[in-house]
Chain A
Amino acid sequence: MTTQLTPTPVASPLVSPGSGFAAAAGRWAGALAGAIAIFSVLLLAKGADPLATLGDMVVSMTTGASLEQIVIKAAPFVLAAMAVVLPARAGLANVGGEGQVIIGAVAGAGVGLVVSGPAALPLMLVAGALGGALWAGLAVALRVTVGVNEAVTTLLLNYVALDVMLYLIYEPWKDANGSGQPATPPLAIEQRLPLLGGTAVHAGIILALLAAAAVWLTLRHTAFGFRLAVTGGNPEAARRAGLPVARLLLTAMLLGGALAGLAGVIHLAGIEFKLRPGLTTNIGYIAFLAAWLARHNPLPAVAAAFMLAAITVGGDSLQLDSGLPAATVNVLMALILLAVLGWTAKRSPS
């Protein structure tokens, strides 16, 4: 303990790039092993055999149907993770993915209620992106005008978004021909995202991967990406260098919100087809963590989104094969996240 308590300079950089790949892989393996070891102890405490339990879980993730499910789950995770990655480059913490996903789905569903035919789907996608951008825009507007921290406002807006959706599905948008449950009428076939040849996977994953590639390109190869990075690195310096900081923050957050909104609308048009309570089941929060796992690098964030999707799907096995309580998978996810967040970054010597 004493060595850890030695005072260290505050706010030293978290990660220094350029560490060896082997060392990084070693840290990741060590962290994951540690998380799984602690999880095994918990499993023993609940009277389960860790080896059999984890074995069943891994086996369950590799069936064809599970792989399809992982891809379906990962699609909105990827988009919502990009919604964190892009603003983060400018130093903004977008904790509001959940609300932006909901509003995206709401906007898409709203267009779906009034527009039919081949124009419906593209319009829904656009509306979803605009809806998400609007929701994120509320938070970033407060940030650039009166300086309120966006992490807090985006978090609060998540709750408001949920109430907006509940209001709509319990009142004006409720399916009059349904059985009284609070949900919008199902989307027509032409309003849905098509399936990829012969699988259960909808085309949302293509959109998500294209969006991730676009974010990667933007951040890495464009002047805009560079300006964002400068702003995120030191806003004061950026301002003195003549960068339009407020506009950059605004743009980054609006784009992020649009991506999260898109996540909501592809989830709606790809698999859910109706707005309903609990539509998003934590997509925004899980994606936020995926983005952090990847330390806000777009391509690793895609991998992290897939990993968290896989844990969610594999988590079913903990119940179905091993009879453990549903919450077990949350514990596993949290332990892995803590291990990776805390023990995989290469630290600058202190």
Chain B
Amino acid sequence: MSMYKVGKGVRAPLLLNTVSVTLLFMIIGLPVLAIILFAIFPKVNELSFAAPFSQFIPQLQDERLIVATLNSIRLALAVTFSSMLVAVVLAYMRSKMAESIGRMWDVLLLIPFLIPPYIGSMGWMQLLQSNGVLDQWLNINLSNVLFSFSGVVFVITLHLFPVIYFSAASSFKVIGQRYGDVAKIYGANSRQIFSRILLPLIVPTLLSTGLIVFVLTVEEFGTPNILGSRFGFQVMVTAIEEKMSDWPIDLSGASVLSLLLVVIAISAYLLQMFITRRFACKLDNQTMTSVPSKNVWFSMVSNVIFFIVVCLAVVMPIFAIVSSSLMRTVSLGLQWDNLTFNAYTHLFFSNSDALSAIYTSLGLAAMAAVITAIIGMLVAFTLIRLKPRGKAVLDILALLPNAIPAMALSVGLILTWNQTFWPVTPYNSLFILLLAYVCLMLPYPIRMLSNAMKQLPQSLDEAAAIYGANLFVLMYKILFPLMIPIMVASSCIVFAISTRELVASLMLVPAGTETVATYVFNQFDQGSISSGMAMSFIVIVISGALIALGQYMSKRYLS
């Protein structure tokens, strides 16, 4: 597309290109670079370049590492496949559903983003372990199932499949009825239509979001740590965290291992590109509203399946959170006389810390949501329309924050920004948290917006240029309005995850400040599980309400 490349007098594309490359580099590239440097030079934190590469051999010699690496890959593959399966089935059913009901399920399936994975895992443990709720009430002890490879896959899948579901659902919408109808004319039954026509057509979407799930699983710490350590299941991230969890702290070693994760992520990215190229085909760009299925059985079965999934992925963890927040003591369990609202009254009436933590987190999350949407838009435009040289590098850079453990990335951020040579630095202020959230969350808007922008016909841009729009007018009047639904959707995800982000918050929070997650963490640390859970629940409700409000407003704005 050389409309943006052509020579002399056309500086705007170049400027835009430079701006988005610079932003990506400053926000993601610098901390990643810092991690790489730290892996190579173990003393780079003291600004010394002594003993380069001295960490590599000793770190990589650890034989547990091979097992952990294989476990990470195995787990990530299993989670990716099972998430795809769940997501595709649901997304297909969603495309045949009446809009009103479908939208309700969509909102419910956003909730898993709000729930910290470790809390979800704690909830499942509480429910399924021996002497757990299910054991006490129904005498069913599923602890062997939960504390197993499939148990870990199950819990992470329930947490991550929405990432694929939302993209797959919008893809089914684009593909629409037409291709299915064509196949029907040529005698295909619905199962054949699904497997032969629709599935291959959404493969690129599946792969591109599947890649995110893969990488997120490789990076996932909470669930493997809580469930996996019960049956000796080590993954890369738990090995990395071990190097930073207690004495002795080995940041350089952790950086070396983080590089392994980067390698895994890049390989996954290349594999995804390779497969996508084989499936690549261009859909014509007409969106047709899909017609809800009139088959009563089909819609009943769909709704029942949605109901079951929502129960497992949403109701269950929320139930665990609420019940823990109401328990006077943990050891007495779920009994009527052990229930109390003390945790809530305490939060609201005698605790200004909690409220200020909520303000801090919501404010940061809202800013992160807006900023990532804007940067995501610029980067998506650069990647899809300007197609600069080295596009793959930018693409990979935009993926890395999902691949590198938040802990390592936080160290990278400190190494980058806590230097005296910067005239100004966000470090040691709330801005570093904002920067960290933006860095960690950027992959979501970039992926979602680039996928969406690929679907927009080029002629829309060209028409704008022909009729006198410069690049900024094009962005402002054409692309932004067209992308607003996707920007809102990605912002909601960023907002949801930011309100609960723990690891980076704990590492980077400026002295004297608290976020929701660090507050909850400190409550757990003091043994006040109920008040930690109460705080979690309140924040889930508030941010859920804000997200619903945001979506409602954006819909009203659009119509």
Tell me, yes or no, whether A binds B.
no
Residues of A within 8 A of B (CB): none
Residues of B within 8 A of A (CB): none
